Homo-oligomer: A and B are copies of this chain.
Amino acid sequence: MQIINKILEIETDDNIGIYNVTPQIKDLLAETGIKNGQVLVSSRHTTTALTINEYEIRLLEDIKAYLRKLAPENEQYLHNDLHLRVVPPDEPINAHSHLMAMTMGNSEVIPIVEGKLGLGTWQSVLFLELDGPRKRTLSVQLMGI
C-alpha cells in the first residue's frame, strides 16, 4: 500500500476562476504506478473549492454566474465588518467567497481503476478560485496498490 502526498501550486488569474487540474492529477498518478486505490484532492484554502464536472468554457461562465446569484458579493455580511474583527491590514472583503466555497465543497475523492482515474467521459476535476487572483496550493493524496 502506497500513500503519497503531493502539493500542486496554482497561480490563479481571475477573481473568480475555474481551472481544470485533471492533467496534473493524471501526471502525479502516473509517477506513482498505483493501479488500484483512490486520489483525494483537497483545497487548502477557505475561499477555493473543488468540484467534478464538464470543462466546457461556456458552462464555466454559467457556474460563476450561479455562484454570484447564490452568494452575491454586495450583500450585507457580518464577516465583512473588518472594523469589528481583529484582522491583518490586507484582510479581504470576501464573505461571499467563503459561502461559495462551502456550497461547492472542499475536496473530491476519485477512484483509481486499472491505473487510471475512474472518471466518466465528460468529467474533469475543477479547481475553483473564489477570491483571487492569488497563489494557491492544492493537496493531492494518492493511496493504493
Contacts and interface: CB of A to CB of B under 8 A. Distances in A.
A106 to B, nearest CB: 4
Interface SS of chain A: helix, strand, loop or mixed?
mixed
Interface string A67-101: 00011000001110100110000000001001101
Interface of A: 1, 3, 5, 36-38, 40, 42-46, 51-54, 56, 58-59, 61-63, 66, 70-71, 77-79, 81, 84-85, 95, 98-99, 101-111, 113, 118-120, 122-123, 137, 139, 141, 143-145
A44 B119 contact: yes
Given A58-B84, A139-B111, A145 B3 contact: yes
A122 B40 contact: no
